[in-house]
Amino acid sequence: MTRKVKLTPYMAREILIRPLGRFRVSVPKLRWSAYYRGFYNPKTQTIWMGRKLRSFNNPDTLLHEFAHHLNVMRGGVPYYHHRFPFVVCLIEVASVQYGNAARYNWDAEYSTVERLARPLLNQRFNLDLTCFDKDTP
């Protein structure tokens, strides 16, 4: 289920409060662009969010980009996108943000991320994503 809310800079900062408090990493800069869907620049520690794209209305895009930031802050290779260390970071960020990683919109993720995440969630966290409805507590 896609969240229907126009993400403002203030709301984006509010969304990041919980993960920033939990992981205690540097605060990434937030910028908006007409070009990007979502993009993390590790050199400048900047998260770019797309204004005109549907992802601009999806807080999960912001969490995805924050997971890239967390992965880099933990020593991950910045340009080795969407591999195991990043997916672990994304699962952790989703768990912190939603209280349950299954509430994250995995269906909207890149296929490589979803393919790596589903078995991890099933094995490590005993979650079966096929049984979860994002609206269920």
Count of residues in the chain: 137
**Is 20 or 55 the better-scoring residue by pLDDT?**
20
Can you read off the two tokens belonging to residue 112?
């490589």
User: For residue 98, is pLDDT > 50?
Assistant: yes
What was the pLDDT predicted at 40? 93
User: For residue 137, is pLDDT > 80?
Assistant: no
CA 46 – CA 29 distance, rounded (Å): 4
What was the pLDDT predicted at 22? 95
User: For residue 28, is pLDDT > 70?
Assistant: yes
CATH code given to domain 9-131: 3.30.2010
Residue 32: CB partners within 8 Å, gap ≥ 6? 9, 48, 49, 50, 51, 56
- Per-residue confidence at 10, pLDDT binned at 50, 70, 90? confident
Q: Is 134 in contact with 103 (CB distance < 8 Å)?
A: yes
User: For residue 136, is pLDDT > 50?
Assistant: no
CA 46 – CA 109 distance, rounded (Å): 20
- What average pLDDT does the chain have? 82
What was the pLDDT predicted at 132? 41
For the chain, what are the domain ranges? Answer: 9-131
- Per-residue confidence at 9, pLDDT binned at 50, 70, 90? confident
Question: Tell me: the pLDDT tens digits for 102-135?
Answer: 889 898 898 999 999 988 887 765 555 444 444 4
